[in-house]
Amino acid sequence: MNGKVLIVEDDSIQRELLEESLNEKGFVVVSASSAEEGKSILEKENVDVVVTDVKLPGKSGIAFLKEIKNTRPETEVVIITAFSNIEDAVEAIKAGAFHYITKPYDIDVLTNLLNKCCELSRLRKKPESSDFIFKSPVMKNLISTVNIFAKSDAPILITGESGTGKEVIARYIHKISERKGKFIPVNCTSIPENLFESELFGYEKGAFSGATKSKPGLIEEADKGTLFLDEIGDLPLYLQAKLLRFLQEKEVRRVGGLSTRKVDVRIVAATNRNLEEAVKKGEFREDLFYRLNVLRVEIPPLRERKEDIVELTGFFLKKFNTKYGKKVILSKDALNTLLNYTFPGNVRELENIIHRAVLIAENEITSEHLLIKSNSSDIRKTLPEQIEELEKKLIKEALEKAGYVQTKAAKLLGIDEKSLRYKRKKYGI
């Protein structure tokens, strides 16, 4: 389908004819006879483009356009009128209309306009995140697949190594879907096992000691929305059974409760484990795996998409230069080091490496500033430890270059003699 279109037209015959034509062209169409009715639909539905007549009862199409652009700037608007009025056309374009066309119009021309509008609308709805900075064909294909999956309410399983951006993809799926409820993230390893059931399903007053009032669970909070179950592969088996029951019956029973509640929740799960292997070992329920694995998104590790390393490095360099008011550049040698590194921590690790390098470097980031070794042992050290190690190295080099004349060494390092004396004493140099 090309996208979702809202038609606002007070003439029922014209409205029905246009709705039928656009349906045939592959659009999902909703319609209204007034601006107020259209506004009500926009509050409930995720619409890509609005097609509105300029003459409407109660409120003009131009006024409706301005209202849309104030509240939903990502939604495109096409104005249609039976009268060729230059002043109205100019006002509409100034107010943010994508286009202004007059009746009678060519349906193919309108279709092309609406396709462009839908594409622009989808691009504007994309979350602004470093994980969506990519150039590689494999990521372009992945996002295209995700855009299709988002239109469905079927469960989605996202797999990939730590740091590849599984939660970002999950949030993106929710954002571009038709779901108007909340996005509720749940890390299956962060909630204590003895509290997980009550957190997920909720509890009734008096269900256990300390339950002084009833509380809905995270599943109920996600009603009409998306429940994101991160690290699903680490969920204990007995809780897997309870989750499976919910997926089968689409209802929850709070801890201590007698009745069940129907909920409309889209499940998106993620894991860095091989669930097929976990099923074979008896660590993950086979029936739950098949319930979750309806649609599958596999995020490739960063080392398999070298083109994205360059794009992401540029993004992070700009981000941290801006944050710290610096103008550090990346040397060619440092870029080659990054391109040849395996990134076990993926995008998250690259961000940390550039963050650290911008803090340490004065003007240019060299390979040494990256603190990368082939066994990646330095990466597991804390940021203060890594900064201290580099400081010691730079002080030793400066002293050697200055023939151990402290005044000259301090000048090379860009610090005063007192600071150099303190650091030499601190590091035992």
pLDDT in tens, 63-96: 888 888 877 777 889 988 876 566 667 777 777 7
What is the predicted pLDDT for the residue at 131?
A: 47
For residues 157 and 414, which has the higher predicted lDDT (pLDDT)?
Answer: 157
Band (pLDDT 50/70/90 cuts) for residue 223 is very high
Band (pLDDT 50/70/90 cuts) for residue 421 is confident
What is the predicted pLDDT for the residue at 404?
A: 86
Band (pLDDT 50/70/90 cuts) for residue 58 is confident
* The model's pTM: 0.58
Per domain, the residue ranges of the chain are 4-125, 130-298, 303-427
CA distance 271 to 161: 8
Band (pLDDT 50/70/90 cuts) for residue 298 is very high
Identify the architecture of domain 303-427 in CATH.
Answer: Orthogonal Bundle (1.10)
Q: Give the amino acid at 151.
A: K
Band (pLDDT 50/70/90 cuts) for residue 59 is confident
Digit-coded pLDDT (tens) for 231-264: 999 998 988 999 999 999 999 989 888 888 999 9
What is the predicted pLDDT for the residue at 380?
A: 47
Q: What CATH code is assigned to 130-298?
A: 3.40.50.300
Digit-coded pLDDT (tens) for 164-218: 999 999 999 998 888 889 999 999 888 887 788 888 999 988 888 888 888 898 9
Question: How large a percentage of the chain has pLDDT more than 90?
Answer: 43
Digit-coded pLDDT (tens) for 135-168: 888 998 899 899 899 989 999 999 999 999 999 9
What is the predicted pLDDT for the residue at 26?
A: 86
Question: How large a percentage of the chain has pLDDT more than 70?
Answer: 92
CATH topology of domain 4-125: Rossmann fold (3.40.50)
Q: β-strands 261-262, 251-252: how paired?
A: antiparallel
What is the predicted pLDDT for the residue at 376?
A: 44
Asked if residue 337 has pLDDT above 90, the reply is yes
The reply to whether 303-427 shares the fold of 4-125 is: no
CA distance 219 to 205: 18
